[in-house]
Each structure stands twice: as structure tokens, then as C-alpha cells.
């Protein structure tokens, strides 16, 4: 590989990894399996090692992912939360053992083998035996304060049992969900027409980041604690002694671990765990090996992102070989074109797989997947099966590289690819494939909830050219519908009535139903609460949107792009002319002449007598506005106890900092 080729590949890998990090950590909806992600990261690390001038401190190989989300206060860990190096190979695991042993030639290094739970990392702080805080890993240095959500987990003691705990103690562990709970919630979501979660990890991660703790309480989260951060007194000499002590103090720990004296013993324990995990009710994706002696751990130290005394051995996803019989492309609601391989059916991880995603154009080219190729497919968790690589030896002689379509297979429009995007798109908003998907979404339970307008009806309406966009729905007459399959007078009238009634549904349903990228039901509600009118939302500028609670930069950009589009503007005008609800009645939360009129507040920390929601309501009632981040435009920072980085920022910017009782005075007229 030449330097120029390596450079090009490194740039591509960094972009891809950043995108996958965003999907995994922030959106909780990964496109690729962990193993595929780890492979990309390894390829990047190897290139950076071979071509040192391509190294960069901002490279994903040097950083831990960042799970911080909008709407939470960030909190600095007393001791950073590190990531773990990982491997899928026995050889590499053995080298890790030898490396550590070589550091301490006069000692007999023992290693603790623990299950690697697949959930979200959390750090609990106990002070004088009381739970005071729960924080996500975030970027390793500071994370989101999710205390209220974590307090809903039944197994977590608010007070420690027993005695002998350090006065201040950060305990680290993993919050996860059982397969049974995952299926229960997804089944409910399916019934409601909501998007399904890919696997229990994503659902657990999505749940701890819900903004309403009452919603969290409705889902059964569990936790296992396996490590420590800052301790005011060092009370543990061995890793293996941590779990039994935590257990005595009432904290949940793994009920399987193995203390191994040498590599063979550790390897046997890993094999045992690999068998055992198939029977466990929660997801485990590997084993974690930790040097047992805590003094030696400290001596071994850490790299920028991971300790040198521990490693994760990850179990490989199941793979199988099969043949690509056809490559087709699918057009999604937003026009994204996804290539899919139709496969000769093959049994994989307990199910028959006959389709696998090829992700996007670059991925097909990189793997050089061709028609008739024998490929290795992989299925990890609930992720859509993916083509990992081609078995070149089995390639038919006359095969040709796959030519990615230049035009949309549905409407013939030339496909485009926007700079910085991995997806190729059909830019035609009237493309029947997109219209079909948009209509299905619009009519679904979580949007306008139009009874009788299911997929089969939508498909017929679009295929017969009776509906070309969302507004056309409102022009349908019962006589038109009678022409559809399985439709009679009565069912036609019922559907027309249901469509008619949808004009009166709450505004957030319409906002959600428009299908603006990244805008889910919760965001739609937040937007409507703030703007109260679709016209005002359509004219909002990016910075105002980005400041809103729960919105953020990516969504703000997407909203602005949507409303800037001429075709979308026309559609909105047509919907408005058809009498859809355009304004949300004032629910009395905001007034236009209160004492705080025009003042912007940011809240941080825990208030002594009010919840954040109550304080927000007080401010809004007095005419003020609450935003999530401190900027020069902020008038007041309302600070409670445990205020984090927002307080520091407000101090730097010279913003007035007030306490709860000051607010009560300010809101009095």
C-alpha cells in the first residue's frame, strides 16, 4: 500500500468510525455489529502504526466514544472512566498475559475472569453510605447526570448495608436489560407502530437517557457492579475481593467469576463462560480479564484510553457462508438508497437468513461484492445480518464488479450523494417509494393515527396514482376508495371519515408525521410546546432550534433543511389549505406579560424544594424561557446543589447566578 492510498483509507475510516460512534453512543441504533466496528478500528490502528505521520490525537483510535446527550447536566468523574482494549483472538489474549507477566517478572500474576455484560456503563457515587449520584461514562472525563433515572432501578440501594465502606466511593458497573424485557417493550412498540430497538443494549442505553424518570420506571432495568473509581480510603487489595464486599454492602454483582493463575486456566474459564452465556437471561458479549493485584494494576498504569492491566476478550458473532443471488437497492422514507444482497438461504444464529445489508455504495466497493460471489455473512444480536467479506477463491470466473445504480429504481431520478454523507439518495420527494413510506409513517399510530389506512391501502393508493403526497389524502372521496381492493361503500366512508378527523389531531402528531429526519415523537412534542404554531416552527432559525431542550445541532439542521425545501413548503401550504390543525392552543404555561418576560434561564443541579419541571413551569408561567445550554444570551443560571460544568461556564461569562429562593422572589408580581 502506498502512502497516498493509506492516507485516503485512513481519512475514510475515521469518517466512518465517527459516524458509527454517533449511531452507537448517541442514537442507540448501530448499523453494524460490534465486531465489524472493531475490525474497522483495528484496520485504522494498524495503518496509523505503519504510517506514523498519519497519526492524529483526534483519531477515534485515541479516544473513547462519547455518550453525552442533550437535556442532562454533565458531571466530572472524580476518577476518569476508561475503556478497555479488546481482542477476538486467543493469540492476542495470550500476548496480553505475557506482556503483563513480563512487567512483573518476580510475581505470579493471577487474573480475574468476569463476564462482559452488554449494556451501558455507569458510575455510582456513594457518600457516607448514601447514593448521591449516578453518571454515565460520557467522554470518560465527564458524563451525564442520570441519578433520577438510576434511582428507579429497584436493585440499587439508596443506602449501603453493613459497614466499612469508604466515606466517598465511586462504584462502576453496567446497566442492562434482560432479553425478556427487551421483547416485551419491542412487542408493545410494534403494536403502537413505533420503531423497534435493535437489541437490549440499545434499549437499555435509550432508557437511561429518557428525560422523564417516570417513563424509565416503567421499564425493568438491571445492574451489575464490577469495579471502582475514586475511593477516599483504599480498602481493596485484590480485584477478586471487590465483588464479595460490594455484595455485603447490598450492591448487585455478577454471580460468575473465575480467578485464574495462568493463561490456560483463564482460557478454560472463558470457554466455560461462552457455554454458560447461551443460557443467561441477559446479553454478554465477552469476558473481561483483570490483573488481580490492585497495587500491580496501579504500577501497570494505562494508555490514554484504557488500562494496561485489563483486556476484553469478545466472542465472535456467528458467521456462515452463502451465495449472493441478487443485489437490489431499497429506497427509504428520506430517499436513502440501501443496497441489499438477496442470498441463498442459510441457517445462522438460529434463524434462516436470506437477505443481508451491504450498507452503502462505499461498502460494496470496498468489499468488492459481486453477483454470484460466495460471501461470509454475520449476525450479531438483533442487528440486520451483514455481508462481512467475499470468499475470493470461490468467485465465478466471469464475474464483474457491481455497478451501483445511477438512477432511482422506483422513479428513475438521478441519484445524488451529498458531501459528508455515506448514503446515496433519491432527491425526488415525489418518488413513489418515498411517498409510500412517508404515508405509512404519517398514518401510523404514533403520528396522525388514521384508522384503516394500513400498509396495503397506502400501497394501492400510491401504485394507482391516487395519492402523490400527504395532502392528496385529504382530497379522497368515498367513491374513489370504492375502486380499491376489498373496499365497499361502508369501509370507504369510514376511511374518509377517519382521514377527515385527523385534521383535528394534536399538532405534534402532524409535526412527527411530516417525517423530518431525526424528529421523533418526543422532539415533536418539545417543538410544539415551544413554538405552538407550525408556521413559527417553519421559520425558526438554526441557533434558536439548537438551544431548545432535547433538540441539538443535528436535529436543528435537519429541521431547517426540511422547511427550506421548496417542495416541502408547497406541501405545507396544501396541508394548511386542507384545514389541518396548525396552532396549538395556549395551555396556560406561558404568558406574554409576566415579570420574567423576555428572560432566558438555564437550570443546573438539584433544587431544594422543586423539581426541574416545577421550576420550568414557574419560569414559563412568569413569561420566561428555559433553555438547556449556557450562552451569552442566558440571563440567569438557576443553580442547585451538585451544579456541574454549566455553573463554571456561567461564572466565566459573568451571568447572574441565582438560587431557588431568588427565583421565587423574581416570579412574584
- Residues between 98 and 127 with contacts to ligand IVH, criterion CB under 6 A: 114, 116-117, 121
198: which DSSP letter? S
Q: Any residues with CB less than 8 A from the CB of 563 and at least 6 apart, and which?
A: 537, 538, 539, 569, 572
Judged by CB under 6 A, does residue 307 bind ligand IVH?
A: yes
Residue tagged active-site, from 41, 94, 116, 290: 116
String marking each residue 311-350 x if it binds ligand IVH according to CB under 6 A: -x--------------------------------------
Residue 462's Cβ-count burial label (10 Å; 0-12, 13-18, 19+) is: buried
Judged by CB under 6 A, does residue 82 bind ligand IVH?
A: yes
Q: Which is nearer to ligand IVH, 174 or 378 (CB)?
A: 174
**Minimum distance, C-beta of residue 614 to ligand IVH, in the bound complex (Å):** 34
Judged by CB under 6 A, does residue 240 bind ligand IVH?
A: no
**Number of neighbouring beta carbons within 10 Å of residue 574:** 16
Phi-psi region of 180 (alpha: psi -120 to 50; beta: other; left: phi over 0): alpha
**Minimum distance, C-beta of residue 12 to ligand IVH, in the bound complex (Å):** 24
Nearest to 573 by CA among 563, 560, 585: 563
Judged by CB under 6 A, does residue 515 bind ligand IVH?
A: no
Q: Which is nearer to ligand IVH, 204 or 337 (CB)?
A: 204
Cα separations in angstroms, 285 against 44, 296, 313, 317, 608: 23, 27, 9, 9, 42
Q: Which is nearer to ligand IVH, 84 or 498 (CB)?
A: 84
Judged by CB under 6 A, does residue 140 bind ligand IVH?
A: no
d(CA 2, CA 153): 54
Nearest to 438 by CA among 411, 458, 422, 457: 458
**Total residues at interface with ligand IVH (CB under 6 A):** 14
C-beta of residue 169 within 8 angstroms of C-beta of residue 251 = no
- Coil, strand or helix at 434: helix
d(CA 23, CA 223): 23
d(CA 409, CA 514): 24
- Coil, strand or helix at 31: coil
Q: Which is nearer to ligand IVH, 37 or 474 (CB)?
A: 37
Judged by CB under 6 A, does residue 84 bind ligand IVH?
A: yes
Q: Which is nearer to ligand IVH, 307 or 605 (CB)?
A: 307
Q: Which is nearer to ligand IVH, 117 or 135 (CB)?
A: 117
Gyration radius of the chain over CA positions: 28
**Minimum distance, C-beta of residue 268 to ligand IVH, in the bound complex (Å):** 18
Among 28, 61, 74, 83, binds ligand IVH (CB under 6 A): 83
Among 174, 293, 472, 547, binds ligand IVH (CB under 6 A): 174
589 is known as an active-site residue? no
Q: Which is nearer to ligand IVH, 310 or 537 (CB)?
A: 310
Question: Of 304-312, 546-554, 587-595, 637-645, which segment contacts ligand IVH by CB under 6 A?
Answer: 304-312
Q: 205-208: long-range contacts at Cβ-Cβ below 8 A with a sequence spacing of 24 or more?
A: 205/25, 205/28, 205/67, 205/119, 205/120, 206/28, 207/149, 207/177, 208/120, 208/122, 208/136, 208/146, 208/149, 208/150, 208/175
C-beta of residue 638 within 8 angstroms of C-beta of residue 602 = yes
**Minimum distance, C-beta of residue 65 to ligand IVH, in the bound complex (Å):** 9
Question: Of 141-149, 306-314, 371-379, 405-413, which segment contacts ligand IVH by CB under 6 A?
Answer: 306-314
**Minimum distance, C-beta of residue 116 to ligand IVH, in the bound complex (Å):** 4
**Minimum distance, C-beta of residue 312 to ligand IVH, in the bound complex (Å):** 5
Q: Which is nearer to ligand IVH, 137 or 219 (CB)?
A: 137
**Minimum distance, C-beta of residue 405 to ligand IVH, in the bound complex (Å):** 39
Q: Which is nearer to ligand IVH, 116 or 512 (CB)?
A: 116
String marking each residue 269-298 x if it binds ligand IVH according to CB under 6 A: -------------------x----------
C-beta of residue 410 within 8 angstroms of C-beta of residue 331 = yes
Joined together, the cell numbers standing for residue 633 give 444570551
**Minimum distance, C-beta of residue 142 to ligand IVH, in the bound complex (Å):** 15
d(CA 521, CA 467): 25
d(CA 441, CA 597): 38
**314 beta partners:** 286
Among 197, 226, 442, 636, binds ligand IVH (CB under 6 A): 226
C-beta of residue 311 within 8 angstroms of C-beta of residue 86 = yes
C-beta of residue 165 within 8 angstroms of C-beta of residue 236 = no
Joined together, the cell numbers standing for residue 326 give 441478487
C-beta of residue 511 within 8 angstroms of C-beta of residue 442 = no
Among 129, 200, 227, 335, binds ligand IVH (CB under 6 A): 227
258-260, strands of its sheet edge to edge: 86-87, 310-314, 284-291, 111-117, 258-260
**Minimum distance, C-beta of residue 67 to ligand IVH, in the bound complex (Å):** 10
Question: Of 182-190, 307-315, 381-389, 400-408, which segment contacts ligand IVH by CB under 6 A?
Answer: 307-315
Q: Any residues with CB less than 8 A from the CB of 327 and at least 6 apart, and which?
A: 339, 340, 341, 342, 358, 364, 369, 371, 402
Question: Of 76-84, 90-98, 415-423, 486-494, which segment contacts ligand IVH by CB under 6 A?
Answer: 76-84
Q: Which is nearer to ligand IVH, 252 or 307 (CB)?
A: 307
Among 44, 134, 221, 310, binds ligand IVH (CB under 6 A): 310
Joined together, the cell numbers standing for residue 248 give 455485603
**Minimum distance, C-beta of residue 197 to ligand IVH, in the bound complex (Å):** 18
Question: Of 55-63, 149-157, 305-313, 531-539, which segment contacts ligand IVH by CB under 6 A?
Answer: 305-313
**Minimum distance, C-beta of residue 106 to ligand IVH, in the bound complex (Å):** 25
**639 beta partners:** 604
Judged by CB under 6 A, does residue 644 bind ligand IVH?
A: no
> Which residues of the chain form contacts with ligand IVH (CB under 6 A)?
82-84, 114, 116-117, 121, 174, 226-227, 288, 307, 310, 312
Which are the catalytic amino acids? Answer: 116
Amino acid at each position: 500500500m502506498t502512502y497516498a492510498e493509506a492516507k485516503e483509507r485512513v481519512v475514510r475510516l475515521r469518517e466512518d468510525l465517527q459516524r458509527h460512534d454517533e449511531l452507537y453512543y448517541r442514537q442507540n441504533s448501530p448499523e453494524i455489529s460490534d465486531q465489524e466496528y472493531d475490525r474497522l478500528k483495528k484496520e485504522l490502528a494498524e495503518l496509523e502504526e505503519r504510517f506514523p505521520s498519519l497519526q492524529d490525537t483526534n483519531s477515534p483510535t485515541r479516544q473513547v466514544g462519547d455518550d453525552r446527550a442533550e437535556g442532562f447536566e454533565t458531571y466530572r468523574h472524580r476518577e476518569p472512566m476508561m475503556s478497555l482494549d479488546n481482542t477476538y483472538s486467543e493469540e492476542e489474549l495470550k500476548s496480553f498475559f505475557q506482556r503483563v507477566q513480563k512487567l512483573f517478572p518476580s510475581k505470579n500474576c493471577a487474573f480475574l475472569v468476569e463476564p462482559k455484560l452488554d449494556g451501558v456503563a455507569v458510575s455510582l457515587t456513594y457518600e457516607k453510605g448514601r447514593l448521591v449520584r449516578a453518571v454515565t461514562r460520557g467522554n470518560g472525563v465527564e458524563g451525564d447526570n442520570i441519578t433520577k433515572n438510576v434511582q428507579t432501578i429497584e436493585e440499587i440501594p439508596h443506602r449501603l448495608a453493613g459497614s466499612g465502606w469508604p466515606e466517598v466511593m465511586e462504584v462502576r458497573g453496567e446497566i442492562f436489560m434482560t432479553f425478556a424485557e427487551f421483547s416485551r417493550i419491542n412487542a408493545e412498540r410494534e403494536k403502537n407502530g413505533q420503531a423497534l430497538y435493535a437489541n437490549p443494549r440499545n434499549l437499555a442505553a435509550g432508557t437511561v437517557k429518557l428525560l422523564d424518570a417516570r417513563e424509565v420506571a416503567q421499564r425493568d432495568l438491571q445492574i451489575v457492579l464490577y469495579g471502582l473509581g475514586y475511593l477516599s480510603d483504599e480498602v481493596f487489595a485484590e480485584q477478586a475481593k471487590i465483588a464479595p464486599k460490594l455484595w455485603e454492602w447490598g450492591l448487585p454483582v455478577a454471580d460468575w467469576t473465575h480467578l485464574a493463575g495462568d493463561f490456560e486456566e483463564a482460557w478454560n474459564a472463558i470457554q466455560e463462560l461462552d457455554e454458560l452465556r447461551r443460557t443467561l437471561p441477559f446479553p454478554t458479549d465477552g469476558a473481561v480479564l483483570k490483573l488481580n493485584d490492585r497495587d500491580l494494576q496501579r504500577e501497570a498504569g494505562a494508555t490514554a484510553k484504557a488500562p494496561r492491566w485489563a483486556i476484553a476478550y469478545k466472542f465472535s458473532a456467528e458467521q456462515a457462508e452463502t451465495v449472493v443471488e441478487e443485489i437490489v437497492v431499497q429506497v427509504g422514507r428520506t430517499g436513502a438508497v440501501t443496497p441489499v444482497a438477496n442470498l441463498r438461504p442459510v441457517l445462522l444464529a438460529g434463524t434462516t437468513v436470506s437477505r443481508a445489508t451491504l450498507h452503502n455504495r462505499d461498502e460494496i466497493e470496498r468489499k468488492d461484492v459481486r453477483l454470484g460471489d460466495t460471501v461470509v455473512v454475520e449476525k450479531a444480536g438483533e442487528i440486520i445480518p451483514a455481508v462481512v467479506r467475499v470468499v475470493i477463491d470461490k468467485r465465478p470466473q466471469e464475474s464483474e464488479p457491481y455497478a451501483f445504480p445511477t438512477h432511482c429504481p422506483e422513479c428513475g431520478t438521478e441519484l445524488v450523494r451529498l458531501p459528508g454523507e455515506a448514503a446515496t439518495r433519491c432527491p425526488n420527494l415525489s418518488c413513489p417509494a418515498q411517498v409510500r413510506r412517508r404515508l405509512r409513517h404519517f398514518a401510523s399510530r404514533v403520528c396522525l393515527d388514521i384508522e384503516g389506512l394500513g400498509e396495503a391501502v397506502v400501497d394501492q393508493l400510491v401504485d394507482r396514482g391516487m395519492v402523490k403526497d400527504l395532502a392528496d389524502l385529504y382530497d379522497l372521496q368515498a367513491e374513489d376508495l370504492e375502486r380499491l381492493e376489498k373496499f365497499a361503500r361502508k369501509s370507504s366512508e369510514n376511511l374518509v371519515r377517519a382521514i377527515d378527523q385527523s385534521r383535528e389531531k394534536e399538532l405534534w402528531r402532524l409535526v412527527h408525521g411530516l417525517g423530518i429526519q431525526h424528529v421523533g415523537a418526543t422532539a415533536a412534542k418539545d417543538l410544539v410546546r415551544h413554538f405552538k404554531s407550525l408556521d413559527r416552527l417553519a421559520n425558526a432559525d438554526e441557533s434558536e432550534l439548537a438551544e431548545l431542550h432535547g433538540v441539538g445541532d443535528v436535529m436543528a439542521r435537519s429541521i431547517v433543511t426540511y422547511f427550506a425545501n421548496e417542495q416541502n413548503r408547497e406541501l405545507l401550504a396544501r396541508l394548511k389549505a386542507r384545514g389541518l390543525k396548525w396552532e396549538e392552543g395556549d395551555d396556560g404555561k406561558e404568558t406574554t406579560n409576566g415579570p420574567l418576560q423576555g428572560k432566558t434561564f438555564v437550570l443546573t443541579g438539584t433544587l431544594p424544594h422543586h423539581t426541574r419541571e416545577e421550576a420550568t413551569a414557574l419560569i414559563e408561567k412568569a413569561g420566561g424561557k428555559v433553555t438547556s445550554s449556557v450562552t451569552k444570551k442566558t440571563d440567569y443560571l438557576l443553580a442547585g446543589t451538585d451544579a456541574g460544568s454549566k455553573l463554571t461556564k456561567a461564572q466565566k461569562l459573568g451571568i447572574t447566578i441565582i438560587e431557588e429562593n431568588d427565583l421565587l422572589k423574581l416570579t412574584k408580581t
